[in-house]
Structure 1
Amino acid sequence: MALGIFINVKAGVATLIVTLLLVPICLFQLDKDKSTDWSKGRNLMFTVCLIWLGYYLLELFNPNNVLDAWNIGFLPYALIPLLCAFLVPLVIRSTKSIEILLFIWSVFVLIFTIKGYWQKNHGFSEKDLFFLYNSGGWRTHIIWSGIRFFSCFSDAANYGVHAAMSATLFGISAFFVKERWKQLFFLFIALCGLYGMAISGTRAAVAVIAGGILMVVVISKNWKMLIGGVLLFISLFCFFYFTNIGSGNQYIFKIRSAFHPTEDASYLVRVQNRERMKELMASKPIGYGIGLSKSERFNPKESMPYPPDSWLVSVWVETGIIGLILYLAIHGILFAWGAWILLVKVRDKRLRGLVAAWLSMDAGFFIAAYVNDVMQYPNQLPVYTGFALCFAAQHIDKQISKEKALTPEQPLNELP
């Protein structure tokens, strides 16, 4: 995506190639490491992702299936969750490793923030203009409320939600790192995320922040954070719902409109479309086929005439009511089990807080996924890394407990 600022890069193909190259290298390195405990990769998340992979493979026999669309969806839809489930608990073995993940992501946050700032203050590049005026992007990015900036992402919705994810994660993580400079750096990255969220004009991004706050206060096991989080949530809700303060600013006005959906014409159209979809989906228990919720480029035998405008609606259209129930059940299990691990099995407060930040980000993301089609590259990577870190956390906590149990005299007694 960073290279895509300057040259044309097919993100799907590039990601597949990189995955096929790096996963075997990673497995080879783990195999050489004598301390690797392979049982960590065979966890509940890996099991449920295998079940989803099985259903994905069965969709090959959907009478309406288009193999090209199925192939394109395989990596983000099925393979990335499975790889994260297996590899993350094997590779991430300490709180320091989690912090390294955050620093890696922060580099990309800085890149897309600079690109977004440049678009807003210095104009669009030739590549951006091609997207807007040759590919039809202007229809959704140059609207009545102003220009929706999209940085180096596929569209403004993807940019806004990803920026909100980073704001949520880094904002929460800043309270669970020891060093002062790390706290300040993470808060700065969170502000970069909030800036990107604002200039994208993506109302669904508000759900990421709100969902993240609600989730973290539930699993924090900290009364101060619980009370502070509830007060913050109520304050934000009252500000946007009951007041008109700042509505002269296009970004605040755009966000405020998300709190009054029944007054929004586009929301009402979506509700009407979903009612019409129900009639068509009644005869499609396994859906129209993977990747065919937006089927203009594939020409299947049958196509859904109404746009899904939501990731979860896309899952419903593509995999049917059977697939949607399975998908929701799997992710419900991941949220419930991940929260249980953090509440019951992880005793180290700093570790619990760092991983809770990832799970809270996931909660906010899936609320946004109900109202917008945001499961696009690169969002799958942090989302499923967040789930997998919960399963890694219980092993990291055991290691921390062992280290704390060692007394200063033990290493000395081993000396000759």
Structure 2
Amino acid sequence: MTNNRNITFHLLLAAQFALIAAGMFANIKTGLFSTAVILLLTIICLIQLSNDERTDWKPGQNTMTWLFLVWLMYYVLEALNPNNVMAAWNINLAPYALIPLICAFVVPVVVRTKKDIELLLIIWSVFVLIFTLKGYWQKNHGFSSKDLYFLYALGGARTHIIWSGIRYFSCFSDAANYGVHATMAAVTFAISAFFVDSKWKRLYFLFIAFCGIYGMGISGTRSAMGVLMGGMLMITIIAKNWKALLAGIAISIGVFCFFYFTNIGSGNQYIHKMRSSFHPTEDASYMVRVENRQRMKELMARKPIGYGIGLSKAGNFNSKEQMPYPPDSWLVGVWVETGIVGLILYLAIHGVLFAWCSWILMFKVRNKSVRGLVAAWLCMAAGFFIAAYVNDVMQYPNQLPIYIGFALCFAAPHIDKRLSEEKEKEAREKKEEELVSTQETDEQP
């Protein structure tokens, strides 16, 4: 039964990535279809867990679960928004509310060992390889007919074939989503590589991190730098090590100085694109966003609960009122859709999560390997939310690794406790064996 609950949960993880990979061959609507898949596999997993006598439900009853139950209640109340469109509300149910809540409850119950964490990474790594190969193929062998349709029939060329070169998007909806996801993988696997026992896993994880950096580069996504910088700074804090802290600060300052004060490598289109993210006031598109947000502020003053779920982008649904300016950022999108009330609640929930999870890793988990593996996910999440302020990147499948990362922090103390108990048991058995051996020696004539 233990294997069954693992298989079902990992199928849930793989299915969400597979939906993106399948996008290479067909147009797949991830909204209602993915919601149905998530609910089906979650129900099966919970049934299997309930039939397993060894299942401990207590880890699932954690702070993260209660926080996202509150968020789910607010999401349900948004259905009463006078401007609400139920089709948009239904499509956004999974990414907005279901995935965080399911991860919060199921992950700490299912993930019980360090090997379970490593298995999550291995499953993710398979899809990172697929996404990287697709990006490599686009860059070196050209676009498929489906890619060309996106570029020229749907207008993707306007933002993907620009003055600085071509921005490659692999299997994703756009280059920004791909670049941020690739950088999320780079941060997670680079940190994890230093906390696995096997030499081959370490090399493999470093290779996956390199694939992530490659994907970040060819995507030309400036917001991905936020993931990288945020992840680096977060690990120095959680490490509780002065050397690591000083090294992290030094590297961060070095990266900042390289991009901000020098022109080294600007002849390369990707380095030039990344460097522009350190000079936002010189970027016309950034200044347009700043102006749009000022205009939005005037409109949002009379919308305390927002325009409605899924209605931040005008034209997608026929609502009574529409926001005339594009949000161009996930957090701005949350503000437009759920209002200042929803944004404050959303930021408060995630602020509490980051603080609580950091405290757990720093003071409740003694095993360095477990702490490092889980910290990798939390650092990735910290960097992601920096990018989420700059760009609309909370799209499939990014929600899954983000909220699995938070949930693993609540699983970590229980994994750490089991490891401590196993060590104590081994020490007792060894001591008993030595005692028996000593007695037998003394009894010999």
In the superposition, the TM-score normalised over structure 1's length comes to 0.98
Tell me, yes or no, if structure 1 residue 382 matches structure 2 residue 382.
no
**Cα offset, 1:227, TM superposition:** 2.1
Contact 2:265–2:272 (Cα < 8 Å) also in 1: yes
Match of 2:346 in 1: 327
Tell me, yes or no, if structure 1 residue 241 matches structure 2 residue 236.
no
Give a deviation string over 1:169-200, Cα, whole Å, max 9, x none.
Answer: 00111111111111111110000000000100
Give a deviation string over 1:100-128, Cα, whole Å, max 9, x none.
Answer: 00000000000000000000000000000
Match of 2:75 in 1: 56
Q: Which of 93, 115, 135 matches 1:74?
A: 93
Q: Tell me the C-alpha RMSD between the 2 structures.
A: 1.3
| Larger deviation, residues 316-325 vs 231-240 | 231-240
**Cα offset, 1:234, TM superposition:** 1.1
Contact 2:35–2:93 (Cα < 8 Å) also in 1: no
Tell me, yes or no, if structure 1 residue 341 matches structure 2 residue 346.
no
Match of 1:359 in 2: 378
Tell me, yes or no, if structure 1 residue 212 matches structure 2 residue 251.
no
- Structure 1 distance, partners of 2:70, 2:33, is 27
- Structure 2 distance, partners of 1:326, 1:297, is 25
Contact 2:314–2:326 (Cα < 8 Å) also in 1: no
* Identity fraction in percent: 70
- Structure 2 distance, partners of 1:14, 1:223, is 48
Q: Which amino acid aligns with 1:293?
A: S
Tell me, yes or no, if structure 1 residue 179 matches structure 2 residue 198.
yes
Match of 1:263 in 2: 282
| Larger deviation, residues 158-167 vs 6-15 | 6-15
Tell me, yes or no, if structure 1 residue 391 matches structure 2 residue 410.
yes
Question: Unaligned regions of 5+ residues in structure 1, if any?
Answer: none
Match of 2:9 in 1: none
| Larger deviation, residues 217-226 vs 298-307 | 217-226
**Cα offset, 1:11, TM superposition:** 2.3
Q: Which amino acid aligns with 2:243?
A: K
Tell me, yes or no, if structure 1 residue 149 matches structure 2 residue 201.
no
1:112-151 aligned at under 5 Å gives the runs 112-151=131-170
- Structure 2 distance, partners of 1:268, 1:390, is 38
- Structure 2 distance, partners of 1:187, 1:413, is 42
Match of 1:166 in 2: 185
The DSSP-based 3-state class of the residue aligned with 2:203 is helix
The DSSP-based 3-state class of the residue aligned with 1:168 is helix
The DSSP-based 3-state class of the residue aligned with 2:92 is helix
1:270-289 aligned at under 5 Å gives the runs 270-289=289-308
- Structure 2 distance, partners of 1:169, 1:94, is 18
Match of 1:306 in 2: 325
- Structure 1 distance, partners of 2:245, 2:418, is 28
Tell me, yes or no, if structure 1 residue 406 matches structure 2 residue 425.
yes
Contact 2:31–2:92 (Cα < 8 Å) also in 1: no
Q: Which amino acid aligns with 1:328?
A: L
- Structure 2 distance, partners of 1:264, 1:245, is 19
- Structure 2 distance, partners of 1:411, 1:34, is 29
1:192-231 aligned at under 5 Å gives the runs 192-231=211-250
Q: Which amino acid aligns with 1:352?
A: R
Higher Cα Rg, which structure:
2
Match of 2:54 in 1: 35
In the superposition, the TM-score normalised over structure 2's length comes to 0.91
The DSSP-based 3-state class of the residue aligned with 1:335 is helix
- Structure 1 distance, partners of 2:194, 2:278, is 28
Q: Which runs of 4+ in 1 moved over 4 A?
A: 411-415
Q: Which of 87, 92, 97 matches 2:111?
A: 92
Give a deviation string over 1:218-251, Cα, whole Å, max 9, x none.
Answer: 0011233222211111111111111100000000
Give a deviation string over 1:78-106, Cα, whole Å, max 9, x none.
Answer: 00000000000001011111010000000
The DSSP-based 3-state class of the residue aligned with 1:7 is coil
- Structure 2 distance, partners of 1:389, 1:408, is 28
The DSSP-based 3-state class of the residue aligned with 1:406 is helix
- Structure 2 distance, partners of 1:97, 1:107, is 16
The DSSP-based 3-state class of the residue aligned with 2:265 is coil
Contact 2:308–2:338 (Cα < 8 Å) also in 1: yes
Contact 2:99–2:400 (Cα < 8 Å) also in 1: yes
**Cα offset, 1:412, TM superposition:** 8.8
- Structure 2 distance, partners of 1:260, 1:409, is 61
Q: Which amino acid aligns with 1:81?
A: P
Give a deviation string over 1:142-173, Cα, whole Å, max 9, x none.
Answer: 11111110000011010000001000000111
- Structure 2 distance, partners of 1:400, 1:194, is 34
| Larger deviation, residues 274-283 vs 402-411 | 402-411
Contact 2:92–2:309 (Cα < 8 Å) also in 1: yes
Q: Which of 162, 186, 189 matches 2:208?
A: 189
Give a deviation string over 1:278-309, Cα, whole Å, max 9, x none.
Answer: 10000000000000001312121111111100
Give a deviation string over 1:36-56, Cα, whole Å, max 9, x none.
Answer: 111111110000000000000
The DSSP-based 3-state class of the residue aligned with 1:2 is helix
- Structure 1 distance, partners of 2:226, 2:428, is 52
Q: Which amino acid aligns with 1:118?
A: W
- Structure 1 distance, partners of 2:139, 2:46, is 43
| Larger deviation, residues 402-411 vs 62-71 | 402-411
The DSSP-based 3-state class of the residue aligned with 1:172 is helix
Tell me, yes or no, if structure 1 residue 251 matches structure 2 residue 270.
yes
| Larger deviation, residues 364-373 vs 25-34 | 25-34
**Cα offset, 1:413, TM superposition:** 5.8
- Structure 1 distance, partners of 2:403, 2:100, is 6
Aligned residues: 415
- Structure 2 distance, partners of 1:91, 1:255, is 39
**Cα offset, 1:408, TM superposition:** 4.2
Contact 2:196–2:202 (Cα < 8 Å) also in 1: yes
